[in-house]
A and B are shown apart, each in its own frame.
Chain A
Amino acid sequence: MDTSSTDDYRDLTDLEADQITRLEELAYEIKVQEVMTPDPVTVTPETSMNAVLELFRSRRITGAPVVDEGRFVGIISIEDLIRSLIKGDLEAPCSRFMTSTNLITVRPGEPLVEALKVFVNSRVGRLPVTEDGQTVVGILTKGDITRGLLSALKRDIQAEEMRRYRARHLFEDIKSDRTSLILRYNIQPRDFIHGGEASSHIKRALVRLGANPQVARRTGIAVYEAEMNLVIHTTDGGVIRVEIEPHQISMDVYDYGPGIKDIQQAMQPGFSTASEEIRALGFGAGMGLINISRCVDEMNLESTWGKGTRLRMKIFLNDEEAVGEGYQLKETGT
């Protein structure tokens, strides 16, 4: 096992949290043939237990398929070897001690999860891999599965690191007088199931672009409140447009109705026009706009009753916080 991989993903906490479900996916994606040991060492029914012992010792294995003229007939394992040692019967052919009934095999094209089920439900230590039940093309142990899953996870993490690396250097790689990245999201009214997704996506994009985690959170909170306002209050939903530049993040949220009757009143802490049903879900605390103003450096709210609302927000980034210029994670504390 390559233990260096565990250190590699210590830094990637949110990714790490995804690993468990990813492992399950991998168990379905990876095929037995990708992780098995191909062309394994085999013995014949006539091979003596002495020779089996020598083979296990020299090859450092704990079991082998028994093959008779190309046909798979049994499994000889270290447990069988111990039984022959106890009986002092090392001269005997391995056919006397091998397991030859209820043999379980897997096919090379099956997903790993099938092999995992066998390992969980039976006491076998290894599974011969065969297409036709006769010709052994490989052998699979629990160790092979662990190694296979770990190296697939490591590949995943490297791919994610590569994506982050590329994203972080996006702005320096592209030459222009002013480069920006624009993200747009259409928000549906009363869609509480997907409400909050746009802000999650924006926050993730910023993290990937190498933004300071504090900046990513502030942006996320501001956009979340605006996004939920679109979900809760608008007639036909609205649009979130976020423009990311190395030194500023501009957020523009607009809709076409119903609009805000009194902006001064809307800005009061605790004021909300949300219905009882929506309040029961925990929305409509009358804190949304206050939260936004706390998170952004500039905020501009315009609305015409009957026409719509437009909320513009900006977060300015100093050199240390700049997005996409190889910013390094420097956050300390909890």
Chain B
Amino acid sequence: MNLAQIIKELDLSVVTHPQDFASIEPSCGYASDLLSCVMSGAQHHGLWVTLQAHANIIAVAALLDLCGIIITEGAAPDAATIAKANEEGINLFTTPRSTFWVVGRLWELGLRDR
């Protein structure tokens, strides 16, 4: 399961620079809105689902070497957050759907928690 398939199947909006998404395969998934939980629970090169959209999520993702963040519930990262994500090479996606829906779809597609 690569990011290109995930973007297509979940109809995600890509807010950072486009990449060769077909070549990026998330190792696993993680969902939480508490940054410290993400710090301790997310596996590196994983995909993180959250409704936080502020700049600090980029720092968390960069420190953990995550391959991307799906921001749910229509929350929109501001320009500074997007710029920081581009700078750190973190892929940012948005969706109006809920975290529950996104995680459910990812699980159906075969993504697991580790």
A residues neighboring B (CB under 8 Å)? 14, 16-18, 20-21, 192-193, 195-197, 199-200, 203, 213, 217, 220-221, 224-225, 228, 281-283, 285-288, 290-291, 294, 334
Contact = CB atoms under 8 A, between A and B. Distances in A.
Interface residues of B, number: 32
Contacts of B62: 200, 203
Interface of B: 17-19, 27, 33-37, 39-40, 43-45, 50, 52, 54-60, 62-65, 80, 86-89
Contacts of A193: 55, 80
A196 B60 contact: yes
B64 to A, nearest CB: 7
A221 B38 CA distance: 10
A224 B60 contact: yes
B34 A217 contact: no
12 contacts: A17-B88, A193-B55, A196-B56, A213-B65, A217-B64, A224-B60, A281-B52, A281-B54, A282-B56, A283-B35, A283-B56, A291-B40
A282 B34 contact: yes
Contacts of B65: 14, 213, 217
A334 B45 contact: yes
A217 B63 contact: yes
Nearest to B46: A334
B35 A282 contact: yes
Given A281-B54, A285-B35, A288-B36, A220 B63 contact: yes
Nearest to A195: B56
A228 B63 CA distance: 13
Contacts of A228: 35, 56
A18 B35 contact: no
Contacts of A213: 65
A173 B35 CA distance: 40
A163 to B, nearest CB: 18
A192 B86 CA distance: 18
B89 A285 contact: no
B34 A287 contact: yes
Interface centre among B50, B80, B88, by most chain A C-beta atoms within 10 angstroms, is: B88
